[in-house]
Amino acid sequence: MTVGLFIPCYVDQFYPGAAIATLQLLEKLGVDVVYPQNQTCCGQPMANSGFEHLTKGCNELFIENFADFDYIVAPSGSCVLHVRDHLHDDKNPEAAKNISHKIYELTSFLTDVLKVKSLDAKFPHKVGMHQSCHGQRGLHISSMTELVAPEFSKPGSLLQMVSDIELVHLGRKDECCGFGGTFCVTEEAVSVKMGKDRVEDHLEHGAEYITGVDMSCLMHMEGILKRQGSKVKVIHIAEILNGIG
Amino acid sequence: MSSREKILAAVKANQPDSTALPDLSVFETTEQGSLQKFAEVLGTIGGKIAYVSGYNEIAGIINSQYGIGVKIVSPLKEFKELITDNLDDLLSIHDLHDVDVAILKAHFGVAENGAVWITENEMAHRVLPFVTQHLAIVIDAATIVSTMHQAYDRISSAIYGFGTFIAGPSKTADIEQSLVIGAHGPRSMTVFVLNANSGTAK
Amino acid sequence: MEQTTKDHAELAQEFNRDEDRVDWHDETLWFIRAKRDKAAHNIPEWETLREAASQIKNNVLSNLHNYLQQFEKNAIANGVEVHWAADAAEHNQIVHRLINEANVVRMVKSKSMLTEECGLNEYLAKNGIEVIDSDLGERIVQLAEEPPSHIVLPCIHKKKEEIGEIFHQHLGIEAGISDPQFLTETARQHLREVFLTRKVALTGVNFAIAETGEFVVCTNEGNADMGAHLAEVHIASMGIEKLLPERKHLGVFLRLLTRSATGQPITTYSSHFKKPREGKKIHIIIVDNGRTVQLGRKDFRNSLKCIRCAACMNTCPVYRRSGGHSYHTAVAGPIGSILAPNLDMEKYVDLPFASTLCGSCSNVCPVKIDIHDQLYKWRQVLVKAGYAPAAKKAGMQAMTWTLSSPGLYHMAGKAGRWVLKHAPFAVNNKLNPWFKQREMPTPPEQSFGEWYKQNGKKK
């Protein structure tokens, strides 16, 4: 099987480490990975701002780049959710539908398709796992505290395979960080307050690193941590699973 | 075109295609209402419970609890000796404003939420269970049902002008989420359970 | 008090000036969310109940034409008078007329968000009718001359010291009292006199049963009953969507409502009104006020399933940190944000954007309204209808243009990283809202695309 690697635009530009780790991790697990170099963005920033009608160009480009792979994998819950729910092309509806069925967020791909049972990775630190909303509630990559249903976590189960890692307990397990796309600047006051509260929860419980499946949440929390002069760092889950000690 | 006609026409034009009602049999249970659970839940909602062998015992408890000088009323003939005022002599419901204790019989209790169901016929006057300072309710242990589904099975198509589920004393948490018992309705509510030790109750 | 020009973002920003207060407001409402969770987890069949409630309400909305007529017929047979109001103004006029017919100028009212929506109190005041709100929280905000901020807990935004001050000013108690027990007792005595003297009482309607013509009013305080059972005339205002088909459906809804709202198993009182007392009157006013329009909106009609429990508000991280008043509408929070634009797109254009689309609201909704999906869809509708600010439109066009072309995208990315590295002051300043309270990300030497070109697999 060949996997098309889909890297969110801001990860490509600002957090290449998460993308490199994703690529290396998949290759380590025996996957044939190709990165279509003409990809840009899934269109989510426009769509979530009410401009879904402007995403035709992004949609067409996405289909052009990714239609022929067996699977498409991305280190992001929200981008994958957007593609799965909103990708469409009137000229090529079948291709769009196909993509929706074969696009995966990274940790889901590892647990559901590759069925990874062990990882060669070590991360001897206290880590807080942030539940990015779109991956959790949209893609259902882990259970949600609101629902009366059995607990599970795909990213959590993978982190358990990493040696010496210590996952910290949190006061509010799945509250939103406040990034929310353009919300982070249009409702700056609330966005930052939400981020500060998330960060505080992790700090209070002794986290040295904050991780998650979405770099957008982490970027937002990192911005707050750096402004506070904190030593706590954010790290995408791909980098932990890939074995960066 | 009257507003009624306008509204109904708009509803007809705009409502979606009909979808079916769900099958509620999935909520049926043969589990009999647990008195223990009822008592537990009643306690958590600020209500009190007393297991009694008969009406005389209830009268005795009320006497000792409230003493003399309180206005006690009840439509139950079993409390003929206990009451201080006869509801039959009432000229206006507003004269109930200073009732201290009202004793009423309820149809049944609901274990999952500690509520009792009582209709107009048992109240003498609709305002009585609300205006009294303290409410005493008598139920038979065998009438406790498990859930609200069973409760409505029990009520079925009974005809009443007014009925209510009462779950404990009145309360509010409107001030900074601090629970205060005794808002506008009764300050306390006691459920007197008859036949608690008979074979049917759990 | 109406905020006419400020939008949610501005009002939320003001709310956030007092961080300690935001924490207090947020923690109080989160505590209620936690109580809701505990109550829900105590019911193993909770999710099945939600599904049943959702399907019952779907059936109601899709057969509303029949249920409304059935309800009316049965209510009339019970001796109740039924009125229909196409809009808020007509509702208010009907209430006014009924009060006049009773030859009084005063009324006691229990909680009804519908009457808030219709602006009833203001209308009646202008017409010389005194209305006293009997729900403790509502009475407090009424004395404070503010609208309620939460549909179940009207004065959740007020601290007990502030309430003590309000009672000192208006109810004659000493200054400096903040004990909730004492304050509640004060309100009890004050309102008892009101209950005993008002001939007209108005209540809301939680559920109206088509099968029997009865309606149910749920309270913890007993204020709706105190008002109604002592009055000569009981007016009950309800939206067209409050219907349930049969009495037995209350079994589902009364299990879900209060657990979702406050975590209690049921409200203290769930009063079923069927017939008026002998010689007295009950009037039901069935109100449209935009609901039939919403019913016709395929993407948004499910919002009419709402049973006004406020679980969505308690769970919403944005609502908890901005407060109900930031939504400048009677029903705030997530549900308010999908109801209000239907009434006035221009006035409420900001509300669907006051969300990160986290989806928590949809999960706690007892009738499974797809709230967060509707928020997304309203955004599309509002922008297409032309309500997006010009600057945003221009910015989005630019973004589209850039992201639709690999070449432009790579160039823009590179340029952005260059600026951040070599001219950070161009971005790290007051004009950049991100920078106000956050550092910008550190620009890497290469983008992933550039790294891959050098190091990645050659095809």
Q: Are residue A100 and residue A136 in the same domain, yes or no?
A: no
Give residues 111 to 130 of B whose Cβ lies within 8 Å of C: 112-115, 125-127, 130
Report the domain count for chain A.
Answer: 2
- The pTM score is 0.96
Q: Residue B48 belongs to what H/E stretch?
A: strand B48-52
Give the neighbours of chain B: at least 3 Cβ pairs within 8 Å: C
Determine, yes or no, domain membership for A119.
no
Task: Clarify whether residues A9 and A109 are in a common domain.
Answer: yes
Q: How far is A199 from chain C (nearest CA, A)?
A: 12
**Is it the case that residue C1 has pLDDT exceeding 50?**
no
**What is the rounded distance in angstroms from the CA atom of residue A40 to the CA atom of residue A7?**
8
Among the four given CATH numbers 3.30.360.10, 3.20.20.80, 1.10.3720.10, 3.40.50.10420, the one describing domain C43-289? 3.40.50.10420
CB contact under 8 A, A145 and C37: yes
The pLDDT value recorded for residue C458 is 54
| CB < 8 Å to B180, chain C | 180-181, 184
Task: Give residues 91 to 110 of B whose Cβ lies within 8 Å of C.
Answer: 93-94, 97
Handedness of CA C62, C66, C67, C69 (dihedral sign): positive
pLDDT of residue B201: 47
Q: Are residues A130 and A236 in the same domain?
A: yes
Sheet holding B162-166, edge to edge: B108-110, B115-119, B162-166, C269-273, C215-219, C207-209, C243-244
Long-range contacts of residues C94-99, Cβ cutoff 8 Å, at least 24 apart: C94/C285, C95/C120, C95/C124, C95/C202, C95/C235, C95/C237, C95/C285, C96/C123, C96/C124, C96/C127, C96/C129, C98/C200, C98/C233, C98/C235, C98/C283, C99/C124, C99/C129, C99/C200
Pairing of the two strands B162-166 and C269-273: antiparallel
| pLDDT for B68 | 85
Query: Rounded distance, CA B110 to CA B146, Å?
Result: 6
Nearest residue of C to residue B150 by CA position? C251
Q: What is the pLDDT of residue C4?
A: 57
Dist CA C341 CA C362 (whole Å) = 18
Verify C-A touch: 3 or more CB pairs within 8 A: yes
- d(Cα C220, Cα C381) in Å, to the nearest integer? 39
Kindly report, residue by residue over A189-198, the tens digit of the pLDDT: 999 999 999 9
Residues A146 and A101 in one domain: no
- Supply the pLDDT for residue C416: 87
The pLDDT tens digits for C10-67 are 999 999 999 999 999 999 999 999 999 999 999 999 999 999 999 999 999 999 999 9
Nearest partner of C84 among C275, C240, C307, judged by Cα: C240
Same domain, A7 and A95: yes
Determine the residue among C220, C252, C260 to mutate to test chain B binding: the one whose Cβ has the most chain B Cβ atoms within 10 Å.
C220
Q: Which residues of A72-93 are buried (b: 16+ CB within 10 A; e: fewer)?
A: bbbbbbbbbbbbbebbbbeebe
Residue of C nearest to A55 (CA): C400
Q: Which residues of C touch B152 (CB under 8 A)?
A: 247-248, 250-251
- End residue of a domain, out of A83, A113, A143: A113
Do A218 and A136 belong together in one domain? yes
**Could you tell me the residue range of the domain that residue A64 belongs to?**
2-113
How many A-C residue pairs are in contact by the CB < 8 A criterion? 211
Instruction: Say yes or no: C396 contacts chain A, CB-CB below 8 A.
Output: yes
Claim to verify: residue A107 and residue A132 sit in the same structural domain:
no
CB C16 within 8 A of CB A193: yes
Q: Can you tell me the mean pLDDT for C152-166?
A: 96
Touching partners of A (3+ C-beta pairs < 8 Å): C
Q: Per the domain annotation, does A121 fall within a domain?
A: no
Residue C459 has pLDDT above 50, yes or no: no
| Touch test B–A: 3 Cβ pairs or more under 8 Å | no
Name the residue facing A227 among C13, C438, C453 (closest C-beta).
Answer: C438
Task: Go through the domains of chain B in sequence order and give each one's CATH number.
Answer: 31-194 (3.40.50.10420)
Does C415 touch chain A if contact means CB atoms closer than 8 Å?
no
**Does A50 contact C353 at a Cβ distance shorter than 8 Å?**
yes
Partners of residue A232 in chain C, C-beta under 8 Å:
none
| C-chain residues near A16 (CB < 8 A) | 444, 446-448, 451
In DSSP terms, which residues pair with B118 in a beta bridge?
A: B164
Identify the CATH number of the domain in which residue A213 sits. 3.40.50
What's the token pair of residue C257? 């409502």
**Contact (CB<8Å) C225/B12:** no
Q: At what angle do helices A56-66 and C390-403 cross, to 10 degrees?
A: 20
Distance CA A242, CA A238 (A): 6
- Nearest Cα neighbor of B126 from B90, B171, B85, B72 is B90
- Best residue in C48, C368, C410, C438 for a mutation probing chain A (most A CBs within 10 Å): C438
Q: Is A185 found in the same domain as A101?
A: no
Q: Compare all CA atoms of chain A with the CA of C454 and give the residue at the minimum distance.
A: A37
Considering chain C, what is the average pLDDT of its residues? 95
Position A120 in a domain:
no
State the best of B181, B184, B189 to mutate against chain C, taking most chain C CBs within 10 Å. Answer: B184
Would residue A118 count as lying in a domain? Answer: no
pLDDT band at C457 (very low <50, low <70, confident <90, very high): low
Nearest to B183 among C51, C222, C296 (CB): C222
Which residues share a beta bridge with C106? C130
Cα dihedral sign for B37, B178, C360, C63? positive
- Report domain extents, chain C: 43-289, 390-455
Nearest CA among C270, C120, C123 for reference residue C209: C270
Pair A31, A108 in one domain? yes
Enumerate residues 218 to 237 of chain A having a beta carbon within 8 A of any beta carbon in chain C. Answer: 219-220, 222-224, 226-227
For the segment C355-363, the average pLDDT, to the nearest whole number, is: 98
Q: List chain A pLDDT tens, one digit each, 245 residues.
A: 899 999 999 999 999 999 999 999 999 999 999 999 999 888 998 899 999 998 998 999 999 999 999 999 999 999 999 999 999 998 989 999 999 999 999 999 999 999 999 999 999 999 999 999 999 999 999 999 999 999 999 999 999 999 999 999 999 999 999 999 999 999 999 999 999 999 999 999 999 999 999 999 999 999 999 999 999 999 999 999 999 64
Å between C47 CA and nearest CA of chain A: 7
Nearest to C400 among A46, A179, A223 (CB): A46
- Give how far A12 is from chain C: nearest CA, Å: 5
Distance, CA of C210 to CA of A190 (rounded, Å): 43
The sign of the CA dihedral B123, B124, B129, B133 is negative
Find chains touching chain C: ≥3 CB pairs under 8 Å.
Answer: A, B
Q: Kindly report, residue by residue over C238-289, the tens digit of the pLDDT.
A: 999 999 999 999 999 999 999 999 999 999 999 999 999 999 999 999 999 9
Nearest to B45 among C136, C154, C264 (CB): C264
Sign of CA dihedral C353, C355, C356, C360: negative
The minimum CA-CA distance between A107 and chain C, rounded to whole Å, is 19
DSSP 3-state of C269: strand
Per-residue pLDDT of chain B (202 residues; tens, 9 = 90+): 899 999 999 999 999 999 999 999 999 988 889 999 999 999 999 999 999 999 999 999 999 999 889 999 999 999 999 999 999 999 999 999 999 999 999 999 999 999 999 999 999 999 999 999 999 999 999 999 999 999 999 999 999 999 999 999 999 999 999 999 999 999 999 999 999 986 544 4
Please give the share of chain C, as a percent, with pLDDT higher than 70: 98
Q: A153-191 burial, b if ≥16 CB within 10 A, otherwise e?
A: bbbbebbeebeebebbebeebbbbbbbbbbbbebbbbbb
Q: How much is the pLDDT for C394?
A: 83
Helix (H, G, I), strand (E, B) or coil at C81: strand
| Tokens coding B23 | 């099958």
pLDDT confidence bin for C425, thresholds 50/70/90: confident
Residues A74 and A97 in one domain: yes
Q: In this complex, how many residue pairs, one in chain B and one in chain C, have their CB atoms less than 8 Å apart?
A: 242
- Based on the fold, state whether residues A98 and A145 are members of the same structural domain: no
**Do residues A154 and A109 make contact, with C-beta atoms less than 8 angstroms apart?**
no
Question: Residue B167: exposed, middle, or buried by beta-carbon count in 10 A (0-12, 13-18, 19+)?
Answer: buried
**A168 and A80, same structural domain?**
no
A122, A156, A166, A171, B187 from A206: Cα distances, Å:
19, 18, 10, 12, 46
**Span C339-362, average pLDDT:** 97
